[in-house]
């Protein structure tokens, strides 16, 4: 080998890594292909907190148990989409929260964790759904968590605090968004708001139809403004909705997505719609594999709903992604890994429901019987006693969305030894994530992007 050529090449190669990621991305943007079509409609889909392992395991479960590949992965197999990896960092950290992540999409800028479309010096960046409303399009959001939560809010409003959900509920009404569906009754209902304000009446006066149950989706009329609030707090996990009669009147994400499309699709200037599988993130925070897979598959059904419409319509850009990873779950090598992973199909409920059912007066036998009934797992006496110690106040577990301090991690560790699924944490991660785009404007998607680039992609695709 010519040593001088090698050293020259090595210097050039090493010099590449002295560039910042932004330098690399900016060079990519300069070589974007020409715009091949205008998107009249845009559907932006976010599986909140979806690590690559979540996407992989949902597809594996679908193939092994349901006998078919997931719709998202089928789009890759069929080469129907443009595909990219995305850096999800915020202005304050390589690991973002959902507010900063959604602000990157919605405001086109990176902000600090915890705020919505507010810059470092207090400047307000106009959220993208407001831009599209000003351009004459209808705009909506549907989610499986509270409709006022960070991800939908980041496309719509400016706020110093992502947790200002009572105020965000009122901001939406002022913006006259066309379709809002999710949970969060406590932010609209005067009986549950601290200020006792009837926010539902505010929406009614502005001409909104208020929907509270799944059956109400059938009464929604084309072109009508709708507010669908289907639960206090977030909607139930999909696995619980399927197996508990109390939740049969709760719509699926796919059903809400279809209803939102139907309400806005005939508008002459088009529509924009955000669709969020918010409970994927919550399941990851709880290290709950059954809840995670079933909510990811529920999101996957919504992907099919959106892409089916886009294929027939021909004028709709569908962007499918996540805002950040969470807990990085994955399958673990072992002789019985396949069989153990497939045993998740015997899980009947989310871990939150399972652990909420246990009380401190349960006996060791009652705990073991309940765990077997709900997960077909056989615990030994020591494991059952360890679970009970949390209910007797001997141990406590913190964690986001763990208000009752349930032993999520302890129980997921017990499941891990039997289902071959492990987790690196109970919180967000800064790994690069998947992006797929279908329809006019999808050619704008570069192979490696920042989260803020998707804001520009939407505007350029719609030629706004």
CATH 3.30.360.10 matches 41-330+436-461:
no
Mean pLDDT computed over every residue of the chain: 92
The pLDDT of residue 198:
97
The more confident residue out of 9 and 89 is 89
The pLDDT of residue 50:
98
Distance between CA atoms of residues 388 and 394, nearest Å: 9
User: Over the stretch 361-401, which tens digit does the pLDDT of each residue have?
Assistant: 999 999 999 999 999 999 999 999 999 999 987 666 766 77
* Per-residue DSSP letter, 378: -
Is residue 2 over pLDDT 80? Answer: no
Q: How confident is the model at residue 408 (pLDDT cuts 50, 70, 90)?
A: very high
Q: How confident is the model at residue 56 (pLDDT cuts 50, 70, 90)?
A: very high
The pLDDT of residue 14:
40
Percent of the chain with pLDDT over 90: 87
- Phi/psi region, residue 237 (left: phi>0; alpha: psi -120 to 50; beta: rest), is beta
**442 is annotated as an active-site residue:** no
User: Over the stretch 209-229, which tens digit does the pLDDT of each residue have?
Assistant: 999 999 999 988 888 999 999
The mean pLDDT of 157-181, rounded to a whole number, is: 95
The pLDDT of residue 9:
44
Percent of the chain with pLDDT over 70: 91
The mean pLDDT of 73-95, rounded to a whole number, is: 98
Q: How confident is the model at residue 5 (pLDDT cuts 50, 70, 90)?
A: very low
* Alpha-carbon distances, residue 137 vs 42, 46, 268, 361 (angstroms): 10, 21, 8, 57
The pLDDT of residue 36:
66
Distance between CA atoms of residues 378 and 87, nearest Å: 41
Q: How confident is the model at residue 240 (pLDDT cuts 50, 70, 90)?
A: very high
Q: Which residue has the tokens 């809010």?
A: 153
The pLDDT of residue 366:
98
Task: Say whether 149 counts as a known binding-site residue.
Answer: yes
Coil, helix or strand at residue 35: coil
The pLDDT of residue 405:
84
Task: Say whether 431 counts as a known binding-site residue.
Answer: no
Is residue 40 over pLDDT 50? Answer: yes
Is residue 4 over pLDDT 80? Answer: no
Are the C-beta atoms of residues 302 and 254 closer than 8 Å to each other? yes
The more confident residue out of 145 and 400 is 145
The pLDDT of residue 96:
98
Q: Which residue has the tokens 């800064």?
A: 430
Task: Say whether 281 counts as a known binding-site residue.
Answer: yes
User: Over the stretch 318-337, which tens digit does the pLDDT of each residue have?
Assistant: 999 999 999 999 999 999 99
Are the C-beta atoms of residues 457 and 439 closer than 8 Å to each other? no
Domain boundaries, the chain: 41-330+436-461, 347-419
Which residues fall within 8 angstroms of residue 345, CB to CB, at 6 or more apart? 61, 65
The mean pLDDT of 346-364, rounded to a whole number, is: 96
Distance between CA atoms of residues 251 and 301, nearest Å: 13
Helix/strand/coil (H/E/C) assignment for every residue in 192-257: CCCCCCCHHHHHHHCCCEEECCHHHHHHCCCCCCEEEECCCCCCCCHHHHHHCHHHCCCCCHHHHH
Active-site residue among 90, 98, 231, 420? 98
- Burial class from Cβ neighbours inside 10 Å (0-12, 13-18, 19+) for residue 33 reads exposed
Is residue 66 over pLDDT 60? Answer: yes
User: Over the stretch 117-131, which tens digit does the pLDDT of each residue have?
Assistant: 999 899 999 999 999
Task: Say whether 285 counts as a known binding-site residue.
Answer: yes
Is residue 23 over pLDDT 60? Answer: no
The pLDDT of residue 403:
72
pTM of the model: 0.91
The pLDDT of residue 404:
73
Task: Say whether 151 counts as a known binding-site residue.
Answer: yes
Task: Say whether 185 counts as a known binding-site residue.
Answer: no
User: Over the stretch 267-289, which tens digit does the pLDDT of each residue have?
Assistant: 999 999 999 999 999 999 999 99
Q: 63: which 2 tokens?
A: 């193939």
């Amino acid at each position: 080998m010519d040593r001088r050529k090698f050293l020259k090449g090595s210097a050039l190669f090493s010099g590449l890594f002295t560039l910042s990621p932004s330098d690399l991305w900016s060079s990519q943007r300069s070589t974007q292909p020409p715009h091949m079509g205008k998107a009249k409609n845009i559907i932006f889909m976010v599986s909140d907190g979806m690590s690559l392992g979540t996407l992989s395991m949902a597809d594996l479960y679908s193939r092994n148990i349901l006998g078919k590949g997931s719709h998202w992965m089928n789009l890759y197999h069929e080469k129907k989409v443009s595909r990219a990896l995305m850096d999800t960092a915020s202005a304050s950290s390589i690991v973002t929260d959902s507010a900063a992540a959604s602000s990157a999409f919605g405001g086109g800028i990176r902000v600090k964790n915890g705020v919505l479309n507010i810059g470092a010096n207090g400047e307000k960046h106009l959220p993208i759904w407001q831009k599209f409303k000003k351009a004459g399009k209808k705009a909506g959001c549907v989610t499986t968590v509270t409709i006022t939560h960070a991800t939908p809010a980041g496309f719509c409003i400016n706020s110093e605090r992502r947790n200002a959900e009572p105020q965000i509920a009122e901001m939406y009404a002022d913006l006259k968004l066309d379709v809002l569906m999710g949970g969060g009754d406590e932010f609209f209902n005067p009986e549950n708001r601290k200020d006792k304000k009837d926010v539902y009446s505010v929406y009614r006066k502005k001409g909104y139809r208020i929907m509270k149950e799944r059956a109400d989706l059938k009464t929604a009329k084309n072109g009508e403004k709708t507010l669908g609030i289907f639960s206090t707090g977030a909607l139930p996990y999909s696995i619980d909705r399927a197996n508990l009669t109390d939740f049969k009147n709760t719509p699926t994400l796919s059903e809400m997505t279809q209803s939102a499309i139907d309400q806005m699709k005939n508008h002459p200037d088009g529509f924009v719609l955000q669709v969020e599988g918010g409970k994927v993130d919550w399941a990851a925070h709880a290290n709950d594999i059954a809840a995670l897979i079933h909510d990811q598959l529920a999101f996957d059904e919504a992907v099919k709903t959106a892409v089916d419409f886009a294929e027939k319509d021909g004028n709709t850009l569908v962007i499918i992604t996540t805002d950040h990873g969470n807990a990085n779950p994955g399958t673990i090598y072992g002789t019985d890994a396949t069989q153990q992973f497939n045993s998740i199909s015997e899980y009947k409920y989310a871990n939150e429901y399972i652990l909420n059912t246990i009380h401190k007066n349960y006996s060791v036998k009652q705990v073991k019987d309940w765990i077997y009934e709900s997960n077909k797992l056989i615990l030994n006496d020591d494991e059952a006693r360890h679970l009970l110690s949390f209910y007797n106040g001997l141990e406590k577990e913190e964690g986001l969305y763990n208000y009752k301090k349930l032993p999520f991690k302890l129980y997921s560790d017990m499941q891990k030894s039997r289902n071959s699924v492990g987790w690196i944490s109970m919180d967000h991660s800064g790994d690069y994530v998947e992006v797929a785009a279908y329809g006019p404007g999808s050619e704008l998607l570069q192979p490696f992007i920042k989260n803020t680039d998707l804001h520009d992609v939407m505007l350029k695709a719609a030629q706004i």
